[in-house]
Amino acid sequence: MSLIDENSVWNRLGPSLQDSPEPLEERSFGVRELYDLFRRRLRLIIAIIIGVTALALVAALELPKTYTANSMIVVETGDANPLDSSTQTQPNQQPDKSRMDTEQDLITSRVFAGLVVDRLDLIEDSDFNTYLPPAASGTSGTGVLSQAVGLIVSIPKKMLAVVTGANAQDTSLPDKAVQQDRAITSYLASLSLQRSGDSAAMTISFVNDDAVKAANVANATARLFVEWSRDNKRQDIKDAVGFLRQQSTELASRIAAIEGQIAKYASEHGVSSDPRDDLLRASIQQANDQLSTARGEYTQAQARLAQVRLAAKNGDTGAGVDPLLSSDFLTTLRNDEAAATRDRAQLAGNYGRNHPLVQEADAKIAAVRAMISQEMLRTIAILENEVRVDEGRVDQLTKSLQASNEELRQRSLAEAKLRELNNDLLTEQKLNDLVSGKLGSLDPFSDAVEPGVRTVSTAEIPTSPTFPKLRLMLAGGFAASLVLAFILVLTLESMDGRVRDSRRVSKLIRVPLLASIPLLPRKFLRPALPPLETLLSKPRSAFSDAFRSLYSACTRMNGGRVKHVVLVTSGLPQEGKTTTAMGLAMAAGMDGALTALIDLDLRTRHLHTSMGLGSASKTLDDYLRGDCGLAEIVQTLPEIPQLDVMAPRTDDQTSPEFLNSSQLAKLLEAFRLEYDVVIIDAPPMLVLEDAVRIAASVDTVVVVAACDSTTQEALSQVVERLRFTGGPSIGWVFNRVDPFQQAHGAFRKAYLRRQQIRRYFPV
């Protein structure tokens, strides 16, 4: 259980802690901080590197070794389809990527893998058929670690067999098909193929823990794939030859059948494939000409008839209308009509319209005109007869031409069918020639077939394992250890809240830094001197000078008053509060002030041992009972006459409970009256409540924080608890600080800085 109960501490502090510390600025993390980080964690980093590298070494030596054997085949150019003659292989032509990918897929197919398993009888090898008992395996780990792991693994198996009652002699195996499938899976898991760029070469790699077996399987894979390719190609050619022979027979039968159909159809329909023997088209052409002439004559007769009818209707009997109207008879009648018309006009002018001569002339004109009309009707009848004759002729020629066209259409269909049969015959003959030619090129070579691949390199028995490789695993282990150390160091640093930066701590707790106490100096392979001996024998060292600075800072915090009571405490034990109290008291005594050093950490009482004191004439318990005076319970340090020490021994019967009584205040008041400076070594504040009670009766509280040990949270809690008591001024001391920490730069710069600092603090 932790000595610090954060919940109880904060609950005790209550409302006075509402004023939380100001937020810290984010720390910059640069090269220098990284260097400091790795310097602090150097031991951890070295341990991780050594441990991980050692594990890698052990793994490289103890893990089962696997060997890789490589054989090589070359995919040659060639026609993959025996029936495809459209493409010709060019010299020096490389197989395309699809061909290489296809060959690679074939090698890794389960069909070919099954062939390899059957040929090599891998189903009887426990490396591939895991259904077989492990004892059948010919390889096992030979290292001590492998044997130990095997023994550890075998114990639970035996116990499980005993508990479940399993028969150890039960050797039943699944079906052969299941075992073969497992062997194929194991074989394919150890097989790999590599190809470089567009190269036609392909490397077959096989991994096994037996070097001889790896080489044998790799060579067998290459050899069997060549044989498999040859067999497949031979089978393809045989299938192609059989197919071509069947097609040739069927084509011959179809050609004979088509020729018979052509002869029968030509005889039945009286058609020939030669168009010069057909006379029907010539007669149709002649009929078309006659029909055209008849239609012209018919049209002309219709036009004459219409013209004559129009002339008869209009009374136009001129000779320019139609040749039939210019006959001698009509001409004579027209002349008689004209003479009668003139005579009538003359008689009408001489005698009047009602004279008998005039009426006689009118009768003569009417008779002539009647005769002209009759002649016109006769002419029209003649023309109508001609029109009817021409129309009948046109109809007759049209019907004759339609019959001829229908006959021509029927003959055209027959010729088309005949041409179709001839085309089918030609097609079948060409296909028959092609099949015969291809069959002639394949049939002689159906038994002598070259495979599309060939073996160019056989696998030799590997002499060194591919895994594990000692150098590679050591390098990998070293690299992994560096990464692991880096991650672990950064993780620990992010979780680490220990005090290292005094400026950050002062800003966090809002308390001034009184002094930084350096580490005790020590030589190589020799322990450091005790603090008391260092303070007495080396008064001008950096360690002693730090306490003089602390005394000066405490005096300034007291405002220059003559009497001064200082409480020295810390958050947790082992942070240097006793050493700090002792050094502060010695610095005050050497400065001439009458000083008293009081050890009120009555549960541990380390001060008496640390200072090597003897026995006082009286104990603190005697003083509290009133049996003696103050001078009888203190001891004067011989080297510093101004310093008196009250340090109860372990056999002192004084109970720590007096710190909760009024006797504590009386004791401190007595020391305040007798001495100028009173230094109190109090218990840790986060462990006991004693220091909180003592703090109510002092002028200044000095909180000690050890560098790289005290956490920021603990220091903050100590300061807040002291603020909760009210009254005394508070300062803190940074203990166990490296005096040369400002020189953590480059090595040469650090060395020069150390030399410069040592001039001021000689060892």
| Cα–Cα distance, 244 to 212 (Å, whole number) | 47
Q: Does residue 530 have a cis bond before it (omega within 30 degrees)?
A: no
Contact 511, 704 (CB under 8 A): no
Pick from 331, 306, 303: nearest CA to 318: 331
Strands 191-194 and 677-681: unpaired
Mean pLDDT (whole number) for 643-649: 89
Q: What is the DSSP letter of 463?
A: S
- Residue with token string 């004191």: 613
Q: What share of the chain is helix, strand, coil (3-state, %, to 5)?
A: 60, 10, 30
CA distances from 564 to 87, 633, 729 (A): 111, 20, 12
pLDDT for 692: 86
Residue 620 is encoded by which pair of tokens?
Answer: 């603190």
- Residue with token string 């600092």: 757
Confidence band of 316 (pLDDT split at 50, 70, 90):
low
Contact 127, 137 (CB under 8 A): yes
Return the minimum-mean-pLDDT range out of 17-26, 191-200, 522-531. Answer: 17-26
Instruction: State the DSSP string of 27-91.
Output: PP--HHHHHHHHHHTHHHHHHHHHHHHHHHHHHHHHSPPBEEEEEEEEEPP--SSTT--SS-PPT
pLDDT for 136: 43
pLDDT for 386: 81
Which of helix, strand or coil describes residue 594? coil
Contact 387, 373 (CB under 8 A): no
CA distances from 722 to 299, 303, 477 (A): 142, 144, 51
| Cα–Cα distance, 436 to 249 (Å, whole number) | 10
| Cα–Cα distance, 741 to 739 (Å, whole number) | 6
Is residue 491's pLDDT more than 70? yes
| Cα–Cα distance, 333 to 315 (Å, whole number) | 14
Return the minimum-mean-pLDDT range out of 202-211, 245-254, 405-414. Answer: 405-414
Mean pLDDT (whole number) for 326-341: 76
Pick from 585, 599, 563: nearest CA to 672: 563
pLDDT for 597: 93
pLDDT for 678: 94
Contact 745, 32 (CB under 8 A): yes
Pick from 202, 61, 178, 40: nearest CA to 117: 178
Pick from 609, 608, 607, 634: nearest CA to 619: 634
pLDDT for 205: 93
Pick from 706, 758, 693: nearest CA to 733: 706
| Cα–Cα distance, 36 to 745 (Å, whole number) | 9
Is residue 292's pLDDT more than 80? yes
Strands 729-737 and 191-194: unpaired
Mean pLDDT (whole number) for 54-73: 88
Half-sphere exposure of 549 (CA within 13 A, CB side): 17
The phi, psi pair for 96, rounded to 5°, reads: -75, 175
Contact 491, 484 (CB under 8 A): no
Mean pLDDT of the chain: 78
Chain-centroid distance, C-alpha 54: 34
Class of domain 510-760: alpha beta
Confidence band of 163 (pLDDT split at 50, 70, 90):
low
**Each residue of 259-279: pLDDT tens digit?**
777 777 777 766 655 554 456
Pick from 679, 692, 615: nearest CA to 648: 615
| Cα–Cα distance, 659 to 662 (Å, whole number) | 8
Rounded (10°) angle between helices 42-62 and 31-40: 70
Mean pLDDT (whole number) for 601-622: 83
Pick from 296, 338, 304: nearest CA to 321: 304
Q: In the chain, pLDDT over 90 holds for what percent of residues? A: 17
Instruction: State the DSSP string of 307-329.
Output: HHHHHHHHT---TTT-GGGG-HH
pLDDT for 81: 54
| Cα–Cα distance, 201 to 29 (Å, whole number) | 54
Give kind and range of the element (H or E) at residue 193: strand 191-194
Mean pLDDT (whole number) for 447-473: 82
Strands 513-518 and 635-637: unpaired
Pick from 101, 122, 126: nearest CA to 113: 122
Is residue 248's pLDDT more than 50? yes
Contacts of 401 (CB under 8 A, 6+ apart): 284, 287, 288, 291
Instruction: State the DSSP string of 603-622.
Output: TT-HHHHHHT----SS-HHH
**Cβ atoms within 10 Å, residue 515:** 25
Pick from 407, 163, 391: nearest CA to 298: 391
Give kind and range of the element (H or E) at residue 205: strand 201-208
Residue 498 is encoded by which pair of tokens?
Answer: 């220990």
- Residue with token string 């005039």: 358
Give kind and range of the element (H or E) at residue 565: strand 564-570
Mean pLDDT (whole number) for 21-33: 56
CA dihedral (14, 16, 18, 21) in degrees, to 10, reads -120
Residue type, 281: R
Instruction: State the DSSP string of 219-238.
Output: HHHHHHHHHHHHHHHHHHHH
Q: What is the DSSP letter of 124?
A: G
**Cβ atoms within 10 Å, residue 676:** 18
Residue 586 is encoded by which pair of tokens?
Answer: 């010695």
Contact 584, 547 (CB under 8 A): yes
| Cα–Cα distance, 595 to 482 (Å, whole number) | 54
Return the minimum-mean-pLDDT range out of 151-155, 470-474, 533-537. Answer: 151-155
**Cβ atoms within 10 Å, residue 650:** 8
pLDDT for 191: 93
Contact 588, 637 (CB under 8 A): no
**Each residue of 492-518: pLDDT tens digit?**
877 877 777 778 788 888 889 999 888
- Residue with token string 């690679």: 104
**Each residue of 93-148: pLDDT tens digit?**
566 788 888 888 999 999 999 999 999 998 988 889 888 886 444 444 455 555 66
| Cα–Cα distance, 372 to 393 (Å, whole number) | 32
